[in-house]
Chains A and B, each alone.
Chain A
Amino acid sequence: MDVKEKKIIDAVSKVLSLQTNEIDLNTNSDNCLKWDSLAQINIIISLEKIFNKKVKTSEINNLKSIKNLIKYF
């Protein structure tokens, strides 16, 4: 796992109040109950701060999986 992946998984697990081992590359909003629309916004904002990169509003709904988050950031 590279640094970026680790950073993203750490941030997402923190927002979702889950252990890092409960999240992997296949986690997304469909297979994780806690990943709801509020969590989605909180994930985006926390990653924006970590990577210092702004997310366009229209992208929010496309970034509902670990894979897509890794691709974007």
Chain B
Amino acid sequence: MLFHSQEFIFIFLPMVLLIFFLIKKFTKISTKYVLILSGIIFYSYWNFILTPIIIISILVNFYFSTQILNSVSTKSKKINLIYSILFNTIYLIFLKYTDFIILNLNSIFTLGIPMTNFPFPLALSFVTFQSINFLVNCYDGVIDKIKFKNYFLFIIFFPQLIAGPIVQYDKMMPQFSEDKKIDTLKKYILIGLVIFLIGMFKKVFIGDNLSILVEPIFNSNNSLNPLDAWIGSIAFTIQIYFDFSGYIDMATGIALLFGINLPVNFDSPYKSRSIIEFWQRWHITLSNFLMNFVYFPMLRALKKITFFKSMFLILVTFLIAGLWHGPSWNYIIFGALHGFGLILNHIYRKYIKFKLNKIFLIFITFNFVNLSFIFFRSESIKDAIFMINSMFDLTKINTIQLISLEYHFSILILVISLLIIFGFNNTNYLITKFKKND
């Protein structure tokens, strides 16, 4: 069920809200059960067969967390943590990357290993990172006791289950407290609805209209006019932002309806003046996870830290980040590009004192991100390179343009969306303002 689908907006969400508030008002039953059950229904609706994948992850991770918490010695605590992280990693690789591994083995060694054709394990990438975060918190003593229903809800809470943001147990669980009064919850309904509608506008009105420009250009097999190639690539860069941040806004709005604040995940990323800043503003909860749970332990394990080694680990971290997005070389290249971009950025920051103009910095950062997203969108590396070549091949300027006047509405949306991105405040600003006035 997608947040902007009719069955979600007109059936699922109103029913869950109604039951949630009725139970809250008239019974002593914990509303956590309503949210757990709705999470299971929400997930099963995509693909019933996949539900056990998430349930197994929840059961195994709950078992590991109790093992970590009940360990008497530091050594057994550590061993349990290592086992649990290994389980999560292997579980994700097995369910999401087996066919990718087989495909590559087959092509390298000309083997004929048959594909498994497992269905795509929706949400598991997010669940894996969230679970690792949770287990490390148990190990560190940030979490000292857990109840099964709380852990279950932490993972299955439907607003952030499918596409994040990646949330933390100690920040989330106190918010689900049964002691919250109905009057307190009611206050969030209006702002929740507004944020949800903004998200829906971003996803449906802007994102989907831009995809009308993106699809014909990225799917074209013939030579592309450079102007088309530029329009297509920029339209995708804008589309992915409105799709993803729109989806996150919808999630944030829905969570607010139940009185839950989700962490900020986007903060006007295209206004960034560097790649470093871009990752502080784009998919913030992911970059936080990568720095704290991937880069930090790797760097800590080194005996002697040098600038070169730390840069190398940045590259490794971003290769992992790329692959995390999906089983494809395109995502690995996307990660590698950002890894190298960050390295260049850090070298510049460390050794060059020369200051550049702010608008120029935003311009080159945006263009770098734009180029990297071509790999994100293209079907293959070959297609991505074709697209980039088309953008700079001025000899093709006289070839027929795909994007003609009949696309004028989508072009208008593209221009408006650029104005929104660079000229307006974002949704976080609205939420912060609301909280200040409250």
| Residues of B143-181 whose CB lies within 8 A of A | 168, 170
- Residue in A36, A44, A48, A57 whose CB lies within 8 Å of B140: A57
Q: List 27 A-B contacts (CB under 8 A).
A: A33-B349, A34-B349, A36-B280, A37-B279, A37-B280, A38-B276, A38-B291, A38-B295, A38-B310, A38-B314, A38-B342, A38-B346, A41-B291, A41-B292, A41-B296, A42-B305, A45-B305, A48-B300, A56-B142, A57-B137, A57-B140, A58-B168, A58-B170, A60-B291, A60-B292, A60-B296, A61-B292
- What's the nearest-Cβ distance from chain A to residue B351, in Å? 8
> A19-51: contact bitstring with B at CB < 8 Å (1 yes, 0 no)?
000000000000001101110111011101000
Chain A interface (Cβ < 8 Å from any Cβ of B): 17, 33-34, 36-38, 40-42, 44-46, 48, 56-58, 60-61
> Quick one: which of A17, A46, A48 has the most chain B CB within 10 A?
A17
Who on chain A is nearest to B350 by CB? A17
CB-based contact A44/B296 at 8 Å = yes
CB distance from B91 to the nearest CB of A (A): 21
Considering the complex, give the chain A residue whose CB is closest to the CB of B273.
Answer: A33
CA distance A60 to B295 in the complex (A): 12
Contacts of A33 in B (CB 8 A): 349
Chain B residues contacting A48 (CB-CB under 8 Å) are 300
Bound state CA distance, A45 and B346, in angstroms?
Answer: 18
Indicate which residue in A17, A41, A42, A56 contacts B141 across the interface (CB closer than 8 Å). Answer: A56
The distance from the CB of B274 to the nearest CB of chain A, in whole angstroms, is 9
Residues of B within 8 A of A46 (CB): 305
CB-based contact B287/A37 at 8 Å: yes
Cβ-based interface call for B12 (8 A): no
Q: Is the interface of B mostly helix, strand, loop or mixed?
A: helix
Q: Which residues of A contact B140 (CB under 8 A)?
A: 56-58
Question: Which of A42, A44, A48, A57 has its CB near the most chain B CB atoms (within 10 A)?
Answer: A57
Interface residue ranges of B293-333 to A (CB < 8 Å): 293, 295-296, 299-300, 305, 310, 314
Find out whether the CB atom of A57 lies under 8 angstroms from the CB atom of B291.
Answer: no
| Distance in Å: Cβ of B137 to nearest Cβ of chain A | 6
Within 8 A of A (CB), among B108-162: 136-137, 140-142
Q: How far is the CA of A38 from the CA of B345 in the complex (A)?
A: 12
Report how far A34 CA is from B299 CA in the complex, Å.
Answer: 19
Contacting pair A36 B350 (CB below 8 A): no
By a CB distance below 8 angstroms, the chain A residues around B295 are 38, 41
B305 and A58 contact, CB distance less than 8 A: no
9 A-B pairs with the lowest CB-CB distances in the bound complex, closest first: A56-B140, A58-B142, A37-B291, A36-B276, A41-B296, A57-B292, A60-B292, A57-B136, A17-B350
Q: Shortest Cβ distance from B74 into chain A, in angstroms?
A: 11
- What chain B residues lie within 8 Å of A36 (beta carbons)? 276, 280, 349
When each residue 254-287 of chain B gets 1 if its CB lies under 8 Å from chain A and 0 otherwise, what string results? 0000000000000000000000100110000001
Digitize B352-370: 1 where CB-to-A-CB distance is under 8 Å, 0 elsewhere: 0000000000000000000
Could you tell me the distance in whole angstroms from the C-beta of A68 to the nearest C-beta in chain B? 16
In the bound assembly, the distance between CA atoms of A56 and B139 in angstroms comes to: 9
* Chain B: CB-nearest residue to A58: B142
Q: CA of A57 to CA of B296 in the docked complex: distance in angstroms?
A: 8
Q: How far is the CA of A8 from the CA of B288 in the complex (A)?
A: 24
- The CA-CA distance from A60 to B296 in the complex, in Å, is 10
| 6 additional A-B residue pairs with CB within 8 Å, beyond A57-B136, A58-B140 | A37-B287, A38-B276, A40-B291, A41-B299, A57-B140, A58-B136
- Complex alpha-carbon distance, A70 and B310, angstroms: 25
Interface-centre pick from A37, A46, A48 (highest chain B CB count, 10 A): A37
- Chain B residue nearest in CB terms to A33: B349
Residues of B within 8 A of A61 (CB): 288, 292
Distance between Cα atoms of A60 and B300 in the complex (Å):
13
Residues of A within 8 A of B346 (CB): 38
A60 CA to B279 CA, complexed, in Å: 17
Structural contact, B276 and A45, CB atoms closer than 8 A: no
Are A45's CB and B280's CB within 8 A? no
Give the residue name and chain of the A residue nearest to B305 (CB). Answer: A45
**How far is B277's CA from A33's CA once the two chains are assembled, in angstroms?**
10
* CB of B171, distance to nearest CB on chain A (Å): 9
Looking at the assembled complex, report how far the CB atom of A22 sits from the nearest CB atom of chain B, in whole angstroms. Answer: 13
Q: How near does chain A come to B301, taking the closest CB pair, in angstroms?
A: 10
Complex CA gap A21/B139 in Å reads 39
In the complex formed, the residue of A with least CB distance to B291 is A37
Which residues of chain A are near B137, meaning CB under 8 Å?
57-58
CA A61 to CA B263, docked complex, whole Å: 14
Q: Tell which of A45, A56, A57, A58 touches B299, judged by Cβ atoms closer than 8 Å.
A: A45
